[in-house]
Chain A
Amino acid sequence: MILKTLFSQLLTRPATNRFPAKYMPRSVLGFLGKVKEGKAQLVPPVPVPPRFRGKIAYSRDKCIGCQLCIRVCPAKVIEFLPEAKKIRMHVARCTFCAQCVDACPVDALSESPDFLLSDTDRSSAALTVE
């Protein structure tokens, strides 16, 4: 029964994906720096399904400034820029429900497959969409 399952697992690959590296690096930030320099190889994350709800992508040109997304956003992610009549999104607060995407009347918002969003600064450029 369970013993059979256990022994058969000795011959199969691990169920987990070894992200970001096969063995835990001493410093993750240092390792990611090395990846940027091209000195180390990143074990890629598990691919996401086609309609994954990741970081919201914003097309500034299409936006008409109707503020409907601001009305439906449950986490108050979206800030209105009155002069430009455009929006700014603070992704650090986002709950990825994508209700703003459904609400947008001109399809200025869409779901991107981006999900590696951790940062030490919550107002960094990567976490601000405008």
Chain B
Amino acid sequence: MADGQKVYEIPIGPIHPALKEPIRFTFQVEGERIRGVEVRPGFAHRGIEFMGLKRNLIQVLYLSERICGICSISHPIAITLAVERAAGIEVPPRAQYLRVIFSELERIHSHLLWAGVAAHELGFDTLLHLTWKVREEVLDVLEELSGNRIDYSIPIYGGVRRDIAPAQVPKVEAMVRHYRGLLEELLDAFLRDPSVAARTRGVGVLTPEEAEALCAVGPTARASGLSKDVRQDRPYLVYGELGVRAITPRDWGLEPRGDVYDKAVVRLLEIGQSLDLIEKCLDEMPEGEITSFPKIPALLAHLKKAEGEGLGWHEAPRGEVIHYIRLEAGVEEPVAWKVKAPTYSNLMSWVPMFRDQEVADIPIIAASIDPCMCCMDRVHVVRDGSGATLLMEELLKLSRAKTERVLRGLSPAGGGA
């Protein structure tokens, strides 16, 4: 703010019609150009982890599903993997394939949802209605397979809760065929359309160096050309056998530039990748059990005995999601539960992306990382009745003061260490 005459501050949010979820931006604007931005998250904090510590693990599973309505397979998969590692539970091969099928179906619906939102932010509402109309087909398949249109309640510790019946397989295959034809049309409407390219090329650029330094994940990182995908880098379930490869704009024959256009390229091509994976899974899926604990009381008893800690990771549609859990023998509740959602890693890429952009591009740049505040918000600082920002140094000072306080209380002389 060296030149106070020319630079103005525009606050957007926490609640604003242009934002889908609460977050506060403070833009420093010079004319039409954004010179800087401050991002303040924390408005969608619901204390989910704390609630989880008061429930048994089966209840926590459904609580984790409700962290985010769109990633309602990703969070349960990450937490089941974490608990299975902690409690030493094996997952039958068929259940692993079924989990992959459900998570790829979720990826398709999530990316189509994003494509619609992005088109809407560009003012291209025809495309919004088209993408959301075709999104219904994958939701119908999910409803057919799981019984719910959203929040599928499919993974459980040790397997999955529902099998794909032989009669349902043709319906899934029909959906895959339908989307293959449709994808060409969508690629045409998005990527070969001159007006979309005019609004997204060179807008919201995140260079590979910045993406690497800021630890961006998911399509945000891949659009900058980083070959970064948890399914490829640290395979879990059966992703290793399926041979997943991170998709970058190079697959569309373009050198990655890291702008909004590239992010659309990556997400749309990933729909095709998910279709391939679903088809491959249906082909290769072995017969057999779908869970190693068909009886719930046996599962509850096993989890109560379990002791240890586990980490579960999954490539959600928005990037890497990690759940950490610690179990103690004799208690049904987890003693620690930590959730890291993809938006948490992607949030800071907004700062370089907004630099020197126009005010009119704020909505599309904000939407381009596919943010999910309710996934991310794990903390909200309230001090002296007002929302305050605590910096690293302050936190360190508080921590040292507490150590001193604790030590004083512990030492018999009361004098401190």
Given contacts A53-B148, A72-B296, A102-B161, contact A2 B62 (CB under 8 A): no
State in angstroms the CA–CA spacing of A75 and B192 once bound together: 47
Are B148 and A96 interface neighbours, CB within 8 A?
Answer: yes
Are B133 and A2 interface neighbours, CB within 8 A?
Answer: no
Q: Is the CB of B188 closer than 8 A to any CB of chain A?
A: yes
Are A111 and B147 interface neighbours, CB within 8 A?
Answer: yes
Q: Is the CB of B90 closer than 8 A to any CB of chain A?
A: no
State in angstroms the CA–CA spacing of A99 and B151 once bound together: 13
State in angstroms the CA–CA spacing of A51 and B144 once bound together: 7
* Cross-interface CB contact of A71 among B127, B192, B300, cutoff 8 Å: B300
Inside 8 A of B144's CB, which chain A residues have their CB? Answer: 49
Q: Is the CB of A10 closer than 8 A to any CB of chain B?
A: no
Are B126 and A2 interface neighbours, CB within 8 A?
Answer: yes
Are A74 and B59 interface neighbours, CB within 8 A?
Answer: yes
Q: Which of A49, A51, A95, A111 has the most CB of B within 10 A?
A: A49
Are A52 and B130 interface neighbours, CB within 8 A?
Answer: no
B163 to chain A, nearest CB (A): 11
Inside 8 A of A6's CB, which chain B residues have their CB? Answer: 126
State in angstroms the CA–CA spacing of A37 and B49 once bound together: 50
* Cross-interface CB contact of A74 among B58, B146, B147, B185, cutoff 8 Å: B58
Nearest A residue to B134, CB-CB: A15
Are B185 and A5 interface neighbours, CB within 8 A?
Answer: yes
Q: Is the CB of A43 closer than 8 A to any CB of chain B?
A: no
Q: How many A-B residue pairs have CB under 8 A?
A: 69
State in angstroms the CA–CA spacing of A34 and B148 once bound together: 31
Q: Is the CB of A63 closer than 8 A to any CB of chain B?
A: no
User: Which residues of chain B in 74-103 are interfacial with respect to chain A, using CB atoms and an 8 Å cutoff?
Assistant: none
Are B147 and A71 interface neighbours, CB within 8 A?
Answer: no
* Cross-interface CB contact of A52 among B56, B66, B147, B151, cutoff 8 Å: B147
Are B151 and A98 interface neighbours, CB within 8 A?
Answer: no
Q: Is the CB of A1 closer than 8 A to any CB of chain B?
A: yes
Inside 8 A of B292's CB, which chain A residues have their CB? Answer: none
Q: Is the CB of B143 closer than 8 A to any CB of chain A?
A: yes
User: Which residues of chain B in 137-158 are interfacial with respect to chain A, using CB atoms and an 8 Å cutoff?
Assistant: 143-144, 146-148, 151, 153
A73 to chain B, nearest CB (A): 7
Q: Is the CB of A126 closer than 8 A to any CB of chain B?
A: no
Are A97 and B153 interface neighbours, CB within 8 A?
Answer: yes
Are B185 and A97 interface neighbours, CB within 8 A?
Answer: no
* Cross-interface CB contact of A97 among B62, B133, B300, cutoff 8 Å: B62
Inside 8 A of B189's CB, which chain A residues have their CB? Answer: 1-2, 5
Inside 8 A of A21's CB, which chain B residues have their CB? Answer: none
| Closest 5 A/B residue pairs (Cβ) | A74-B62, A53-B147, A97-B153, A103-B296, A74-B59
Given A1-B185, A2-B130, 8 further pairs, Cβ under 8 A = A1-B189, A2-B189, A5-B130, A48-B143, A49-B144, A53-B146, A96-B153, A97-B62
14 A-B pairs whose Cβ atoms sit less than 8 Å apart in the complex: A2-B126, A2-B127, A2-B130, A48-B143, A51-B162, A53-B148, A53-B153, A71-B58, A74-B58, A95-B62, A98-B147, A98-B153, A102-B161, A103-B296
